[in-house]
Chain A
Amino acid sequence: MSKDILVIGGGIAGMQSSLDLADMGIKVHLIEKLPSIGGKMAQLDKTFPTNDCAI
């Protein structure tokens, strides 16, 4: 068994790290201060330069 990883912050960076680690088969504990994950990026309507939806 591998060691667990703690990720502090559930914004785009924290979510990406968590998914990468989880996909490697590592157990991740993702901590978010607010009631939901998403962070600042969830507040964005679209992202540049492709105008993709942020959520």
Chain B
Amino acid sequence: MLDVGRHPNIELLAYSEVEKVEGEAGDFKVTVRRKARYVEEDRCTGCGACAEKCPTAVPDAFNEGLGDRSAIYSYFAQGIPSTHTIDPDHCRQLNGKKCGICAKTCQAEAINFEQEDRIIELDIGAIIIAAGYDIFDPSLIPEYRYREIANVVTAIEFERLLSASGPTEGHMDRPSDRAVEAEIEALEKKAKKSQKALDKLEKKFDEPSAAFYGKYQAGEYKGDEDRKKWADKYTSHVKIVDPLEELKKKAEGFTVAKRLAFIQCVGSRDFRFYPFCSGYCCMHSIKEAIIAQEHELETHSTIFGMDIRAIGKGFEEYKIRGGNNSNIIYVRGRVAEITEGPNHNPVVTYEDTRERKVKNQEFDMVVLATACAPIKGIDTLAKTVGVELDKYNFIKTGSLSPVDTTTPGIFVCGCAESPMDVPESVAQASSAAGRAAEIAFQSELEKEKAVA
């Protein structure tokens, strides 16, 4: 990533979109919209002081909504470019409210609320589409109760929980427990505020609130307005503190998730959604189970799948190693349903096809190995660029020309073409680069010929 940002031959146009493509192979005219960041790219140092002070909290897309970011943000900590961006949908200043705290904080004077989208035009020889993919939305499968049961998460959400730079710093805290902890935090803030108000009153009347309240209820101080206010403040304070203590007691029993279930083929190899195999999910689940066990040695994982497709260099060995060293059990069977058991534990109902029995098993957390779906907006992009899509909305290619689109001079690589893992994406990317380079150099050769 860093290499891309630094390479003298690469012009990085982040936060930009293709508006129009005209022309043909060797001579495309491309119009690009550079969206307004409201932050001057050449001034912002990426220090993050603005994001620290920004009062607005927005669910963080990079962390799959498991954490918050501010309205002025860098997409992720190591993001390239490190230039911050103001989210125009959530920024107070841009939505007509009084704010501008970031502008006051920024020492580089990089904030510019007046910035507008810029349109640039490029002369291009060839185009490579590497638009990527989207994660299949598992809430389309009602029997898995994603979003209904807090501790059912997608593989990419689990990835963020495993990450040391993620919202839990690599601890496998369960989403249901995290919700309670967030509630405790909010109540603590409230309690602190009301305690402060009580402290003032206690000082004024030189008496502890509890003792005063006893007397107040016994009928003393009738008609005393000041003391009535104090009594009201005290009762509302108790209403915050009591549930807070209860939640705190509950939170003492929280542990990280140690019994994990991974459910394969969520959306893929399923004729209701995508009949194809997404290819990488089996290995992804094995990897997550191995890493989870590295983080917490007592972790036991069960991977439910029709079969484990470990096709690739070193993959089968990796699968066996997971079973031998990382407490992974592979169960052949498709999960029929997930229900919620006691303590927000998901209960998995499945058929163990080896024993020919329907079984129920309780877990701390369930991870859904979601299908690789075509990226949202690919139809618009395909129309703009002028290439055809296949029946699933991946970019159409031929079996003997896997990086050539239906339009000469436009190539494709990675999951925009079809589901594939990282090594395959890299290989296809180099292949597409080679094909594009042919065109780039062809025009040079033609010029030389013309001169000769």
Contact = CB atoms under 8 A, between A and B. Distances in A.
Interface of A: 1-51, 55
B37 interface: yes
Interface residues of B, number: 90
Contacts of A9: 129-132, 414, 416
A21 B80 contact: no
Given A2-B444, A12-B425, A16-B426, 9 more contacts: A8-B130, A10-B130, A19-B7, A21-B440, A23-B9, A34-B14, A37-B14, A39-B132, A49-B317
Nearest to A37: B80
B451 interface: no
29 contacts: A3-B443, A7-B128, A7-B130, A8-B381, A8-B385, A9-B129, A12-B429, A13-B432, A14-B414, A20-B429, A21-B433, A26-B441, A27-B9, A28-B9, A29-B10, A35-B83, A36-B81, A37-B1, A37-B12, A37-B80, A38-B80, A42-B76, A42-B79, A43-B62, A43-B159, A43-B163, A45-B160, A45-B163, A45-B291
Contacts of B91: none
B209 to A, nearest CB: 49
Interface of B: 1, 3-5, 7-18, 26-28, 30, 32, 37, 62, 64, 73-76, 78-83, 85, 122-133, 156, 159-160, 162-164, 166, 170, 283-284, 286-287, 290-291, 312-315, 317-318, 381, 385, 413-416, 421-422, 425-426, 428-430, 432-434, 436-437, 439-441, 443-444
The B contact surface, by secondary structure, is mixed
Grouping DSSP codes into helix (H, G, I), strand (E, B) and loop, the A interface class, with mixed when no group exceeds half, is: mixed
A19 to B, nearest CB: 6
A2 B441 contact: yes
Given A16-B425, A22-B10, A34-B14, A51 B437 contact: no
A44 B164 CA distance: 11
Contacts of B287: 46-49, 51
Nearest to B442: A3
B352 to A, nearest CB: 26
A3 B444 CA distance: 7
A25 B17 CA distance: 25
A36 B10 CA distance: 15
Contacts of B416: 9, 13
A50 B286 CA distance: 12
A17 B429 contact: yes
A20 B9 CA distance: 11
Interchain residue pairs A-B with the least CB separation, the first 4: A3-B125, A13-B414, A36-B79, A14-B130
Contact of A55 (B1, B124, B429, B437): B1
A41 B422 contact: yes
Contact of A47 (B126, B166, B422): B422
A23 B4 CA distance: 11
A3 to B, nearest CB: 3
Contact of A19 (B4, B15, B30, B428): B4
A35 B429 contact: no
B257 to A, nearest CB: 15
